[in-house]
Structure 1
Amino acid sequence: MSTAEIKSRLMEQLEDRFVTWAKGRPDIRAAIVIGSRARRERPADAWSDLDIVFFTTNPEHYLSKIHWLKTFGNPLLTFVKDTPAGGQRERRVLFDGGLDVDFTIVSNSEAKSLLRFLRLRKRFPQLLQLIPKRTSRKIMREITDFAGIIRRGMRVLVDKDGVAIHLPLLNDNSFSSLAAKPSQAEFLAVLNEFFYLAVLMTKKLRRGELWTASRMNNCSMKHLLLQMLEWHALASNRWDYDTWHGGRFVEDWADPRAVDALSNAFAHYDKEDIRNSLSATLDTFGWLAIETADHLGFLYPASTDERVRGLLDQYLFEGTETPSDGGV
């Protein structure tokens, strides 16, 4: 039996233990599997974790205690953090054998409220107009995030009150997580922030602050590069083109030219390498932005691009020192 087959079987056994446990716990009202172990497109492989969402009348107990985890296996480590989407909290666990499980712990009253909202909204589509705009936007953002996950696939493990079975109501098109086209102002804001960070990072590099320069180059600027990769893919294909989230599967959906260029865009903790990766990142971001602007009918700020690159050349290649006053 291969390693992948062994891990798959161990995950199935862990899931079975969870179901048996949840059915015997009065406070656990429903549980579903989301993520790769529930979806058909890009299903689980040997490296996939298990994502379980369960609805309980006592969420704080499972967020603050860890003894219940021993029912499913031997936990090597565990911690609690906010979920990437949906506005909930999750307990992440690494069990023996490298089995990693994310338990998203949701208040059952919230789950029931969501179901009531979905049913009411189906009957009264204008319901959100009766709620203050700030509140309605927050509600829609969290529901839309969760809907995007559910839409990719879910499996019901436990459903004592008939709540989980109705979650497919989230597949309503009004909860679509389709990316919004940027306005000219939003597009320029990303460009301006990227160019600003490029100059600031270069000053840090010249001052010898490699940690800060490396972090800005490999993290902050790459976050903006990812945004441009997504916009470019959407603008070049169609606006419902699937760019997943957080850079997942970027190798498959992004322009192949950009994917090839990424091999030079991330730097080691080395001054020369950071400088080279900055150059590669600027070049890749630049042509992506130019082509995206052309697709969207935006004006590209060529003069700003030219002036920023001139500053960078001055700082990096002409030996001009930046002030060493220890400022930001």
Structure 2
Amino acid sequence: MIFENGELVIPRLLDWVRARPDIRAVLRTGSRARGEADQWSDHDIELYSTDPEPYRDSDWLDGLGPVLAGVGLDGPWDNPARLVIFEGGAKVDFQVVPVARLHELTDELDDLHERGYEVLLDLDGTAARLPAASGAPENELPDEREFREHCEEFWFELGHIPRYVARGELWVAKLRDAGTKELLLTMIEWHALSHFGLDHDVWHNGVRMREWAAPGVWDRVDALFSGFVPEDVLRAASATGALFTELARDVARRNGFTYPEAAEQAF
């Protein structure tokens, strides 16, 4: 079994890999490769294979240990990917990648590997030729058109919430609310980058937001969420709109954009 006390045991993973001659290299990315992980962090493992296609099926996972749940996806290079929770609770995101992609990375790292990577196995010496990772995030701010469209989409989504609450459709209202939170998260990221600079690490999906958001933002997050009660749903929607407005106006000011004030009338 590959797990002990919920942790991925790399030597056992590599023992399994060595019995599969098609896998020529193993890399680890993500927070564990960067030394920023805690006990709850995912394990991001890349298996570089001469024949990735058979890994689209999930049978190969049986050799690693009992699987509680798994999701099969297409990876960023149209490669097989498996997101797995094993018995013991460890979550592992596997990418099974063509060996040719590893050769491409020796010329220039992509954004993911530029953040940091760790070579766990290198049977052919290809990974030894990878450039050193800078560790710097690859961030960018929107242009004015993207900014405006993002703001209008936010107010379009938020404007649906009172309508569904009035109909008594709280489930649908909460689904719309989830969409506004995703749009707000992007604005929180843009606001932090506008405040601190493009080399500021905003992580992803709101992870560690209390650490990277601009001052005062995290203190207002608790007011953005509600229970399953009409009045509370509307209160949280208003708080979400108020924070979005404040941050978006600041992003516009710092970047010379025009904030689309008329869009607020949709709510």
TM range (shorter): 0.7 to 0.9
Match of 1:156 in 2: 119
1:172 shift after superposition = 8.0
For 1:160, give the aligned amino acid. Answer: L
Query: Partner of 2:50 in structure 1?
Result: 57
Alignment TM-score, normalising by the size of structure 2: 0.88
Which of 21, 25, 31 aligns to 1:26? It is 21
- What residue is the counterpart of 2:8 in the other structure? 11
Work out the CA distance in 1 between the residues paired with 2:227 and 2:138: 35
| Residue 31 (structure 2) pairs with residue 71 (structure 1) | no
Write the letter of the residue equivalent to 2:252.
A
CA RMSD of aligned residues (A): 2.5
Point out the structure with max Rg over C-alpha: 1
TM-fit CA distance, 1:87: 5.3
Tell me the amino acid that sits aligned with residue 103 of structure 1.
Answer: F
Q: Which residue of 1 aligns with 2:93?
A: 102
In the other structure, the counterpart of 1:37 is 32
Q: Which amino acid is 2:195 matched to?
A: S
Change (3 A) 1:59 1:276: same
5 Å matches for 1:121-200? 147-168=110-131, 171=133, 178-200=138-160
Residue matched to 2:40: 47
Aligned residue type for 2:91? D
Residue aligning to 1:131: none
SS of match in other structure, 2:159? helix
What are structure 2's unaligned runs of at least 5 residues? Answer: none
Q: What residue is the counterpart of 2:248 in the other structure? A: 289
Which residues of 2 match residues 233-252 of structure 1 at below 5 A? 233-252=192-211
For 1:321, the equivalent position in structure 2 comes to: none
Contact 1:23 1:158 (8 Å CA) reproduced: no
Deviation at 1:280, TM superposition (A): 0.6
Structure 1 letter corresponding to 2:46: V
CA separation of 1:291 and 1:38: change in aligned 2, threshold 3 A: same
Q: Specify the SS of the correspondent of 2:88.
A: helix
Alignment of 1:265-284 (within 5 A): 265-284=224-243
What SS is found at the alignment partner of 2:38?
coil
Partners in 2 of 1:95 and 1:197 — Cα distance? 37
How far does residue 50 in structure 1 lie from its aligned partner after superposition?
1.6
Q: Is the 8 A contact 2:119 2:127 kept in 1?
A: yes
- Please give the secondary structure, in 2, of the residue aligned with 1:256: coil
**Contact preservation (8 Å) 2:151, 2:263:** no
> Could you say if the C-alpha distance between residues 182 and 209 of structure 1 is closer, same or farther in structure 2, counting changes exceeding 3 Å?
same
8 Å CA contact 1:7–1:46 kept in 2: the answer is: no
Number of residue pairs aligned between Structure 1 and Structure 2 = 264
Alignment pair present for 1:257 and 2:216: yes
Deviations 1:8-55 (A, max 9, x none): 7x423xx21111121232111111111222113x2x222122221001
Code of the residue aligned with 1:264 in structure 2: it is A
Which AA in structure 2 matches 1:225? L
How far apart, in 2, do the equivalents of 1:166 and 1:109 lie? Answer: 14
Q: Is the 8 A contact 2:137 2:201 kept in 1?
A: no
Shift of 1:100: 1.8
* Sequence identity percentage: 35
Query: What TM-score do you get using the length of structure 1 for normalisation?
Result: 0.73
Flag the structure with more relative contact order, 1 or 2, with Cα contacts below 8 A and sequence separation at least 6.
2
Question: Does the residue aligned with 2:8 lie in a helix, a strand or coil?
Answer: helix
Alignment partners' CA distance in 1, 2:261 and 2:62: 60
Question: Which residues of structure 1 form unaligned runs of 5+?
Answer: 1-5, 123-142, 313-328
Partners of 1:11 and 1:99 within 8 A in 2: yes
- The structure where strand makes up a greater share of residues is 2
Distance across 2 between alignment mates of 1:276 and 1:214: 13
